[in-house]
Each structure stands twice: as structure tokens, then as C-alpha cells.
Amino acid sequence: MAKKKKVWKSPANDGAFRGKEDKIRQMLCDIVNGRSRLLGRPADLFDSIAAAIDDIERFGENPKLQLELLAWTLRCDFICSRIDDGEPELWDGLFYDAGTFFVELAKQYEDKKYVSDLVHDLAVRHVGEEGRSYVFLSVSEILPPESIKALLDELMNTVETNDLPNRDDVLDAISDMADDIGDAAEFAKAALMRDPEKSNATIIDIANSYFVAGDIEMAKQWLRDVENPGAEDEEACLDLQAGIADREGRKSDCAKIAESLYEKYPKVINLARLCQVVDSTRARKLLEDHVRYRNGGTANIEFMQLLQSMKAYDLLEGYVTTFEKELPGMDADTLRGMADELEKDSQAELAEHIRKWIVDEPEEAQAFDDAD
């Protein structure tokens, strides 16, 4: 019989590991409870949370611990609305990374009761920030349907039986989860509890929820309740009406609504919808006119992507030539992805033209000092 190999376990190493996780937990708890001195030093606070996420990744042999610490990290997302350091996108990105990390781990973790408890805790303490919202909008990926239903019932009961200071935020969490699983009725219930006066925005959101869930008749029924919409509500209403007409096969009606939508709100996203429902000649004319009259004199990466998707390569080449000096300020990964796709589509010269102007991390201009 083979002898069992002896493994030396160092109490010092074990203590260091436990000490690391305890320090991270304590730091995050202090931030959440408003006791951390880091709250007065935004740069150090950001670096500390980022370092904590990196350290959590190293606890790969203990996914339960990782999920717990990531949940604490996500509870720190209240910082986003309290710190004004001029870099909100960095904070949003930080907590988005924590959210995606949580979801990836939770997908594989077998104890779904534990995952559900963590999501419940995040929801009842929701403060309306985007960090943990990613978890709510991905709940179908990490929990089975019966667990989600039980979780939503419990959260709704909590809202109905307690005077919560963050009631609307908890309802938003419920809406996000209902939206993710396509439960339009639950979405509507939460939305109406949040807005019992039934504003146009809420009505349109509910109608859209039914539309996404595939219940076109209910979507149309809710849209009929929209009255005298303002600009933002009218745009959303027209967009949904166009989607319904398209889903029902009413191509002529869809084109008319999409035309009205673009004429009233000449955005690239509305132009894209219109181009999808008109013939190629009309679409080409729309793209040309947008460049001439509605581009605004500055480069728009979404319009560049639209030109690429429509295979209007000559227009895209002219656009890139006109605005090439603005490309260094655009997202490098997006431009690189465009160039790669263009090359695959035998547009090597255009791809190279775009690559020539890609700058990964534009540096801030430094004042020239000629004192020497």
C-alpha cells in the first residue's frame, strides 16, 4: 500500500490568507457603513476597491468566499452618486467589473440558495446605482426559474409589508429581474407601485416589457393610455409603435412611423431603424442626406458603424477622410473591431486608414514650458 504523501501546512501562511480576506471584508464593510477614512480620498478609495477585486480573484479555490466579498464590493456602488471627481465612467466601470465577475462565478456555483440570498441582500439594500443592476439584469443566468420566482415574491412582500427608505430602488431591482426573465406582469406591478400616477414614461416602459415578452396585444393596450407625450416620451412611443408594426408585418405602417420618428428626432439609432424598413435606394439617400445636413460637423462613431453595417463603404471612406483627425479621440477597441471586420469584407485600404488613426490611450495635452 502506497504511503500517503505528507503535506506541510504552514500556520503562518494560513493566517496570512485568512488575514487577507478579513482585511478586505473589513475594508468593504467600513466603506458600506460610512466609517472608512478612504471615503474622503476618492483616488485612494478607487485604488483600494480595484486592488480588492484583484485580490478576490486570487481566492479561486473558494468561490463562496469570492461571491461574498464581491457582494460586499457591489454594496459599495453607492459611492458613484456621492463622489464628484470628474471621472464617473471609471467608477461605473469598476463596479461593472465586479458585477460581471459575480455573475460569472454565480453561474458555476452549485449552491443556488446561497446565490439567491446574496442577490436578495443586494436588492433590499439597493441604492439605484448601476453596479449591482448588472446582477439583477443577469439573474436568469445564475438562478433557476423557481428560485427567481421565490426571490421576486419575497422581495415584493418585503416592499409591501415594510416602510423601506429605499423602496423605489428595491422596486427597480424587482423590475430589472422581471425584465430579465420576461415577466411583464411582475414588471408592471413593480412599475405601478413605484409610479401609481401612471406617467407616460411608466406606461411606455410597461408596454415595452410586454412587447419584449412577445405579448403584442397587451403592449398595444398599454400604449393606448399614453396621453400628450413630451419629447422624450414621444420618441420612445414612436419607436415602440414602429417595432409593433414591424412585428405584426405591417411594413408600410412601420416605414411611416419610422420616417416620422427620424424626422422629429434625427438620431443615428432612429436613422438605422428607418434604413431597415425602406428599399436600398431610399436608404442610400437617407445616409447621404444625414452626412450633408444632420451630421453636426463632428465625427460620430455610431454613424460610422451604421455605414459599415449598410456596406456603404464609399460613404464611410469619405467620412473617415473628412474626420480622420477626430478618430484618435474615439474608443480604440471599437475602431479596431471595425477595421478587423472591414478587412474580412475585402476593405483592406479602408481598414488600414482607420487603424492609422487609432490611439489606445490619448494623453492629455501638456503645456509647453520654454522656461529653459
One-character DSSP codes across 123-181: HHT--S-HHHHHHHTTHHHHS-HHHHHHHHHHHHHHHHHS--TTHHHHHHHHHHHHHHH
Task: Please give the Cα distance from 79 to 90 (Å, whole number).
Answer: 12
User: How many other C-beta atoms are found inside a 10 Å radius of the C-beta of residue 224?
Assistant: 9
Mean pLDDT, residues 31-39 taken together: 93
This prediction's pTM: 0.82
**From the CB of residue 34, how many other CB atoms can be counted at a distance below 10 Å?**
9
In a shared domain, residues 132 and 45: yes
- State the pLDDT confidence band at 129, using cuts at 50, 70 and 90: confident
Mean pLDDT of the chain: 91
Q: How many domains does the chain have?
A: 3
Dist. CA 322–CA 344, nearest whole Å? 24
| Domain end residue (candidates: 173, 194, 215) | 194
Residues 44, 186, single domain; the answer is: yes
Average pLDDT over residues 67-96: 89
Do residues 36 and 180 both lie within one domain?
A: yes
Q: Residue 361: pLDDT band by 50, 70, 90 thresholds?
A: low
Query: 221: domain range?
Result: 197-278
Half-sphere exposure of 219 (CA within 13 A, CB side): 21
* Residue 303 included in any domain: yes
**Which cell numbers hold the place of 363?**
494623453
- Rounded Cα gap, residues 119 and 174, in angstroms: 11
Q: Does 184 have pLDDT greater than 60?
A: yes
Domain end position, chosen among 223, 247, 278: 278
Classify burial at 31, counting beta carbons within 10 Å of its beta carbon; exposed 0-12, middle 13-18, buried 19 or more.
Answer: buried
Return the C-alpha cell found at 104.
460569472
Residue 367 lies in a domain: no
Judged by average pLDDT, the poorest of 8-22, 65-79, 110-124 is 8-22
Which of 33-42, 201-210, 237-246 has the lowest average pLDDT?
A: 33-42
Residues in the chain: 372
Question: What's the one-letter identity of residue 139?
Answer: V
Per the CB < 8 A criterion, the answer to whether 188 and 209 are in contact is yes
Measured CA to CA, the distance from residue 229 to residue 364 in angstroms comes to 43
